[in-house]
């Protein structure tokens, strides 16, 4: 089974760090990984990779590692593995909309907030609390 190809839309931030993740690319991905996309590589990062790329793509390069392309240029991350993280909150909340608040609970909180808005209501709430 082949690994997916990741494509970024717009600017991509390239950050170098110490092991285990020597290189991290972060930006906005396009379908199927739309939204915020972060790719972390554990292989050896290329020395001539700039700090930002535009419209980068990442694909496996066989056993050699991973190929990063941007425009007409390409870089090879040698060896290691790739860890992909994407923001899925929007898709999650589209699939699972929040449940409606029961009418009794809405009435209760409206009453509490209305009481808290007046001095006499605050006295009553303090008395009920004890």
- Single out the residue of 38, 40, 3 nearest to residue 23, CA to CA: 40
Q: Which structural domain range is residue 47 located in?
A: 6-91
Q: Are 85 and 104 contained in the same domain?
A: no
Verify that 45 and 107 share a domain, yes or no: no
User: Three-state DSSP class for 73?
Assistant: strand
* pLDDT grade for 3, boundaries at 50, 70 and 90: low
Q: What is the pLDDT of residues 42-90, one digit of tens each?
A: 988 888 999 999 989 999 988 888 999 998 999 999 888 889 888 888 7
Please count the structural domains in the chain: 2
The CB density around residue 91, as the number of other CB atoms within 10 Å, is 12
- Output the pLDDT for position 45: 86
How many CB atoms lie under 10 A from the CB of residue 34?
16
| Residue 1, in any domain of the structure | no
Q: Are residues 54 and 27 in the same domain?
A: yes
Do 68 and 105 share a domain, yes or no? Answer: no
Q: Are residues 120 and 66 in the same domain?
A: no
Which of 129, 22, 128, 124 is closest to 68 using CA atoms?
22
């Amino acid at each position: 089974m082949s690994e997916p190809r990741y494509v970024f839309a717009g600017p991509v931030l390239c950050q170098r760090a110490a092991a285990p993740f020597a290189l991290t690319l972060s930006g906005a991905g396009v379908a199927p990984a739309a939204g915020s996309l972060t790719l972390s590589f554990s292989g050896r990062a290329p020395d001539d990779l700039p700090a930002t790329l535009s419209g980068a793509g990442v694909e496996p390069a066989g056993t050699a590692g991973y190929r990063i392309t941007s425009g007409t240029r390409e870089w090879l991350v040698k060896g290691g593995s790739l860890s992909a993280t994407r923001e899925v909150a929007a898709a999650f909340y589209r699939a699972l909309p929040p449940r409606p608040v029961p009418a009794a609970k809405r009435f209760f909180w409206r009453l509490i907030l209305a009481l808290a808005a007046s001095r006499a209501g605050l006295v009553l709430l303090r008395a009920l609390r004890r």
